[in-house]
Structure formats: structure tokens, C-alpha cells
Chain A
Amino acid sequence: MDITFKNVSFVYQQHSPFAHRALDKLDLHIPSGSFVAVVGHTGSGKSTLIQHLNGLVRPTEGDVWIGDFHLNAEHKPKNMKELRSKVGVVFQYPEHQLFEETVEKDIRFGPKNFGVGDREIQRRVKEVLPSVGLTEDFLDRSPFDLSGGQMRRVAIAGVLATKPDVLVLDEPTAGLDPRGQKEMMEMFYAAHQEQKLTTILVTHSMEDAATYADHVIILNKGTKYMEGKPEAVFVQKEALQQVQLDVPEVVRFLDLFEKKFGMSIPYRRQSVKDIAKAIEKVMTGGSGHE
């Protein structure tokens, strides 16, 4: 599903002393099937943006289109439930939404609400468990007996089981250990490719954005600050620092490498491994006697 924001503003607690403009005349377009990273400093409007995607809030001004669903201040789609079944949102710390007695019941909760048949739910439960790295032994356990990381996997399984077309991830790896973070991102990336999802990743991690996204949107104070391919956006160090963001570690390294050795390796979203190889090539090629 294509997602389009046109001139969207959102004001919290309008007409009160606490009025706060979270989005300010935001325009953006996310083509179907893309993996987009939304990056921004705290308070840049990322979370508000997300809530527009499945109609939790409606814009104060402007228009939002998610596929055929149209949202604006006056108009809301009649079939909100259908919109929500097509847009799956994994909120920050999704483990806080668990409430059922068993893991299985909690995973079934979403699809059941969206009117999916019992047998189909059964099939989906079996299908999503391995993809979030859990086994069927977990199904009968209480979600509250699990570790934090396992709880999060259950919560994510609950969202994936609704089979959304658009997957929205709000800092899905916050608070996990480094290995858990990597596993989780790999899992989302695999789901993105296998199920041809449109994925929107909200993150602080420039590394994740650089590794997985094919399009990056930088938000600042509720407006779009920069946008483009990661390899084009992440090399603009000064512009990013202006909005309290850093470049990915690899870019920083390449920058220092160039300063120290006077040899430049262009940034093309290489992993650390690729960089090591490239350096080896440059070094041995540059000074042949070693």
C-alpha cells in the first residue's frame, strides 16, 4: 500500500495552554514495498507520525492516504478496523501490551479481533512462532513468566499474526542486548522480503537505518528535514549534526580513515566486513612491499 502525507499538521491539546504542534506541514510519500527508516531526535514527531498510519489520530490539518484509506480532520474511514488489520504497528516496548493467560491466546488476540477464522489463526500461530525465534513449547506458558526479550517476541508475533500489508516498527530493538537487537532486525528484514511488506522503521540507530532501509527520512521539529537513499543522506555529517544526529559508525570510520591515510573509500552502505576487505585492497594495492 502506498502511503502519502500531504501538508499534514498535528496539534496536541489544541486550544489549551498546553497546545503543542507535533507535526508541521509534513509531506511524504512511501511507495508500496519499500523499507523506509524514519530518523529524528526526541520530540521530532516520529511517534505522532506513526499514529497517523493506522488512524489512531487524525491530522489537525492536511490529508493522509494509506492505500485507499483517506484520513483528514473531518473525514475518517468507516472501516477503521480494516485499516488497522492492514497496518500492523509494533509500538515501543510492545511487551507492555501482553495481557492474556497464555502466549497462544495473546498471539491469537489480534487476528481474532479482525475476524480471522479459527483454523486460519491456528495456522498463523504455527507460522509466526519460528519467525520470531520461539518454539511451540512457549504456547501454553504465561507471557508474564517470560524474560523481557521473550515477551517482546511474543508481542511481535501477535502483530505479525494479523498479517499486515504495512508493518510499522517504533524502535523495536530498544532495551535489548546487542545480539538480540541484531536478531530482531534480521527477523523484520526477512519478514519484509518474504511477505513483500511495506516497512516503516522508526529508530535512533543510524546503523540499523543504514543497513536495512532503502529510503531514509529525517524528521526535525515535525517537518521533513532530509530525505533520500541512505548512502546519500548519511554522508552529510554537518547537516545531520545540526539536528543532533550522528552519521553511522562506518561513515565516521571512513571519514577518519581518509584524514589519517589520505585514501578515500566511498560510502556505499558497506558492512564492517566489507570495509575491512576494501581497506585490505587499498593498503596492499597502495604499498606493494608488505
Chain B
Amino acid sequence: MNNALVIGQYVPGNSLIHRLDPRTKITIIFFFVFIVFFANNFWSYAILTVFALASLFTSRVPIRFILKGLMPVWFLIIFTFILHMIVTKEGTPVFNIFTFTVYSGGILQGFAISMRFFLLILVTSLLTLTTTPIEITDAIEELLHPLKKVRFPVHELALMMSISLRFIPTLLQETEKISKAQASRGVDFRTGPIKERVQAVVPLLVPLFVSAFKRAEELAMAMEARGYQGGQGRTKLRELKIGKRDIFVYCLFIGVVIGLLFIRN
């Protein structure tokens, strides 16, 4: 896995961001996603960018690592920029490409929208970079707790999430292992006509499915053997607790939100 995708990968650390209660992180990011769409002038984008970059630096996740991980998303950001640049017809014409006339408003709009995109991706990947999957599912279970009143299977949902998250690396490893074994038997996944490459996936998928089902069965058996019977009366080893630093961060965020609402036109 030399070029693993960063989104969804946890980087261990002990920064302020790492130690925040996962509920705090999820709530703030949830609202941040809304807030980003309120920004409509330079200063409102600036304040959000400062907030995002400040969180990034506090997290002490290596910048180079994040930028490299955002590689596949760069394409989308640039694509959005170009699209907005050529279809927005506001402001004064600046120059022509092919048959399109680019207006000054288009360039601004392009910047604004791709900035939104960038901020959204940066902040959400910061969540997974600094929070273990277990913490995230715990937090989601807690946050959705009120839905239990309407018989929503919160615990089961959280369990499904943590199981699938737990097995992502396992399946990736398994995929790599099997693809290496098949490559050793002469399968070529990388070159050749499309039809052959599609066929090359079969020797990979069949063993993968077989082992995934086997694993699921074993897991179910192991859970039952240890007396698992759903969420009733289940206690937690690590209780989530809102501490001083969470309140501090909440206040900071509310400050940013109020500031933003004042600054925007």
C-alpha cells in the first residue's frame, strides 16, 4: 500500500485536536460544512480558511502527508474551478479560450467554489486523520442516541459501522496479498486491453469474497461465544466526556460563526 488514500486513515498523535471529544469534532465539522456555504466575500473565506488551517497546524499531522493524500481530490477542485470560470458570465470580459469568454466574475466564482471544496475536504479529512474509527462510531452512537425513542436501531447501526471500518484495512491487506499471489501466477492487472484487465479482476474478487464471508462467519461466532446480545445494558470501557478543552473549542467555533455572519454581505 505505497499510495494509500489518506481519507479515512488515522494518524496517531497527542495534539489538542486528537484529544478533543469525538462528539465535539463531529458537531463542529457538521456545522462547519453548513457555514462554508454562508461565506460570500473575501474576509468570510479568510476567516474560515484561518480556522481550518489553524486546526490543521494544531493537529500536527505532517502537511506533506495531507497534500499528498488530497491528490485525487485536487483534480476535482481544479475541474470545479475551470467549470465555474467558463460558465459564469458576470463582470467584465478578461480573455478568451477557444470559444469561451472568461469574465472576471467567473474567475472569482471559480476561486470561491473551489475554496469551499478545499475547505470541506480539508476539515472532514482532519476528522478521520485525528480520530480513531472506534471513537467516531462511539460518538455517532451517542449523538444519535435520542433517535432510540423512535425505535431507530442506533446501536446496531453503530456496530455495523465499526465492523465495516474495522475490516477496511483487513480487506485492503487481503486484496494486496491475493493480487500479489495472482500476479506471481502471471496475471497482469496494469497493462493490456480493457477486456483482459476486467477479466484479471475475477481471480482477485472470488478469493476476496470467499474470505470475507468466512471472516464474517467467524466474527459472528466469536461474538456469540463472548455473549454478545445487542446494546442492552452494555457499558463502555472508554466513556466519552466533554472537558474544558471541548468547551474552549466550542466557544472558539461559535466566535468564528458570529464573526462570519457579521462579515458576510
A residues adjacent to B (C-beta < 8 A): 12-17, 51, 54, 56, 81, 84-85, 87-89, 91, 94, 96-99, 109-110, 112-114, 144, 158-159, 162
Contacts and interface: CB of A to CB of B under 8 A. Distances in A.
B64 A96 contact: no
Nearest to B9: A18
A162 B2 contact: no
B198 interface: no
What 3 A-B pairs have minimum CB-CB distances, sorted nearest first? A113-B186, A99-B206, A97-B181
Contacts of B61: 17
B62 A54 contact: no
B62 A17 contact: yes
Contact of A99 (B4, B64, B183, B202): B202
Given A13-B1, A15-B64, A91-B177, A96 B207 contact: yes
Nearest to A92: B177
Interface residues of B, number: 27
Interface in B1-59: 1-2, 4, 11
B207 A159 contact: no
A159 B185 contact: yes
Contact of A81 (B64, B188, B210): B188
A91 B188 contact: no
Contact of A94 (B4, B11, B181, B202): B181
Contact of A85 (B68, B186, B203, B206): B186
Nearest to A82: B186
Interface string B169-190: 0000010011011111111100
13 contacts: A16-B62, A17-B61, A17-B62, A17-B65, A84-B184, A87-B184, A94-B181, A96-B211, A97-B182, A97-B207, A99-B202, A113-B187, A162-B185
Contact of A110 (B1, B64, B186): B186
B177 A96 contact: yes
B182 to A, nearest CB: 6
Contacts of A97: 178, 181-182, 185, 203, 207
Contacts of B211: 96
A228 B182 CA distance: 33
Contacts of A81: 186, 188
Given A15-B64, A17-B62, A97-B178, A88 B207 contact: no
A246 B174 CA distance: 30
Nearest to B180: A56
Interface in B147-200: 174, 177-178, 180-188
